[in-house]
Amino acid sequence: MLFLLVFLLASGGCRLTGSRVVLAPSEGALSQSRGEQFNESASASARPIHKLPDNNNSIRPRVHVRSPAWHIRGGSQDIVTPHTGGTRKLLSTASPVSSESSFGVGCNTYGQLGDGARTSRSTLAPVMSSFHISAVSAGYHHSVFLTSAGEAYTCGRNSYGQLGDGGRSSRDTPVRVLGSQAVAQVRAGYHHTLLRTAEGLVYGCGQNQRGQLGDGTPTDRLHPVLMAALENHSVVDVAAGAYNSFVRTEAGSVLGCGENSNAQLGDGSEADQLLPVQVMQGHDVVEVAGGVDHSLFRTAGGGVYACGANAHGQLGDGSRMRHVSPVEVMLGYHVAGVSAGERHSLFLISDGTVFGCGQDLYGQLGQGSSAAARTPPVQIMATHTVVEVCGGWRHSLFRTTEHVVYASGLNDYGQLGDGSTIPRFTPVQMVGAYGDAEGVAAGYGHSFSLAASGVTSTCCFHAFAPRLLPAPLVPSIPLAILPAPL
């Protein structure tokens, strides 16, 4: 059985992004190959974006996730030094995961763990244990689950309608949404939810004041509404930032909508977009990660581009200068995955090494000490081979080749899953009988991890990629089934 670890952090609010990066090695050895990421950052002094050539050894997403609890020793201060005129790249790929049971830990104030209670915890407890969970995504104080049968369930805070059940009341037992559609992917933002159907359509619900739902209005939606501007496009991937959203079409286009006050959409402007606008044109973007006010874009060749706010060095270009248009970062590296936390970024290299940059006040970069800003990127988890990284609000998760999960950063609600509520400045291993970890996700104050023995939950801010799982079992807790909106 596969277990989904859900660790909920209950600290304040959860930054939407938290993207998860999974390293799926190809048959040949990958050394400094290029991967694609969707980043937007440019300033007056920034050099133009150049098309990155694709590589035969590029890492591609694959349906295999095994993430055991991991623990970081020490904390490396190795720094990625910029190359003169060179290009640095990072590759990140998400892998689908299968699971049967779920467990959760961390903040549960609004019922975001989905266990039918509202008691926070620092040790793992079962959640959604009667379903085959294929994916999970954690937002500020809400969670979205995807079953192997293509059913989407939501729970937690619902102030803006982010649960999509037509109301604003919080739910501590998951409720099914978009019941008439087969859902292929789920993503949770700060206070909004994105649902991609098997037919390539995108629906959104919840907060929409910045246009993050892409329906052309700033009106919050209590039911999922269609992103109509993309109705004639087949969408193959979606990503959620704190207050914005990104989609990737089958034709290879990447579009973004929502908050853009720090130029985090990467369209070269600082104006919010109520409708999706195309970004990163001319680049084969395969992954997008959105933080609170910055974004990362990974390309098929292992390259990474970043844009938006950079006060903490979260863009990874070695400066603290904001970039209105995407700039290339991590030159000389083949990046297999990227993940964005509140104001920090994580880069997974194709050889299993990890680098991070940005805010590190709570230990989210695992360096053994705190820092307001770290740039250029520093190495993390130096003694481990990492296959997946996930940035939460102010914590980070790392899954190793041993199927173990490690966590560092803010831990006030037990979101790190180590049985304590003490912040950790070097990665510590998540504890609990959850079996081999298959995937991780981080939210504001809670986290998720898919494991071979089931699903467990802690505090997490990141979203999982959909996973192929067996048919769901009969639920052991009552789940409300809602009709699709008219």
Which tens digit of pLDDT belongs to each residue from 57-100? 222 222 222 222 222 222 222 233 232 232 222 222 233 334 44
Give CA–CA dist 466/464, Å, rounded.
Answer: 6
Bridge partner list, 360: 371
Model pLDDT, residue 213: 99
The label of the residue with tokens 């937007």 reads 40
**Residue 229 φ/ψ region, left for φ over 0, alpha for ψ in the -120 to 50 degree band, beta for the rest:** alpha
Residue with tokens 């809602």: 482
Instruction: Give the number of domains in the chain.
Output: 1
* CATH number of the domain within which 291 lies: 2.130.10.30
For residue 68, say if its preceding peptide bond is cis, omega within 30 degrees of 0.
no
d(CA 456, CA 433): 9
What is the per-residue pLDDT for 43? 33
**Owner of token pair 């037990």:** 414
β-bridge partners, 204: 194, 225
| pLDDT attached to residue 436 | 80
Q: Is the dihedral of CA 79, 430, 35, 273 positive or negative?
A: negative
Residues 77, 349, 312, 404, Cα dihedral to 10°: -70
- Beta strand spans in 381-415 (E): 386-391, 395-400, 405-409
Return the biggest CA–CA distance within the chain: 59
Residue 386 belongs to some domain of the structure: yes
Q: Would 355 be classed as within a structural domain?
A: yes
Is 269 within the bounds of a domain?
Answer: yes
pLDDT (tens place) for every residue of the chain, 486 residues total: 444 444 333 333 333 333 444 444 333 322 333 333 333 333 333 333 323 223 222 222 222 222 222 222 222 222 332 322 322 222 222 333 344 456 666 788 999 988 888 988 777 667 788 888 888 899 999 999 999 999 999 999 999 999 999 999 999 999 999 998 999 999 999 999 999 999 999 999 999 999 999 999 999 999 999 999 999 999 999 999 999 999 999 999 999 999 999 999 999 999 999 999 999 999 999 999 999 999 999 999 999 999 999 999 999 999 999 999 999 999 999 999 999 999 999 999 999 999 999 999 999 999 999 999 999 999 999 999 999 999 999 999 999 999 888 999 999 999 999 999 999 999 999 886 566 878 788 899 998 877 765 445 443 333 323 222 222 222 323 333 333 333
Burial class (CB in 10 A: 0-12, 13-18, 19+), 481: exposed
User: What is the pLDDT, as a whole number, of residue 453?
Assistant: 52
Rounded Cα distance, 344 and 394, in Å? 8
Using CA atoms, how far apart are residues 1 and 26, in angstroms rounded to an integer? Answer: 26
Q: Which pLDDT value is given to residue 459?
A: 34
Q: Give a yes or no: residue 484 inside a domain.
A: no
Domain enclosing residue 252, as ranges: 3-477
Three-state secondary structure call for residue 335? strand
Q: Of 204, 200, 203, which is closest to residue 235 (Cα–Cα)?
A: 200
- pLDDT at res. 102: 61
Does a structural domain hold residue 482?
Answer: no
**Is 105 among the domain residues?**
yes
- Rounded CA gap, 14 and 110, in Å? 13
Distances in whole angstroms, Cα of residue 121 to Cα of each of 59, 113, 393: 37, 10, 18
Give the pLDDT score at 172. Answer: 93
- Estimate the share of the chain in helix, then strand, then coil, as percent rounded to the nearest 5: 0, 40, 60
Distances (CA, A) of 393 to 14, 200, 381: 5, 29, 19
Instruction: With respect to residue 39, please indicate whether it lies within any of the assigned structural domains.
Output: yes
Spatial distance between the Cα atoms of 2 and 116, rounded to a whole number of angstroms: 21
Cα 219-222-224 angle, rounded to 5 deg? 95
Q: Report yes or no on 485 lying in a domain.
A: no
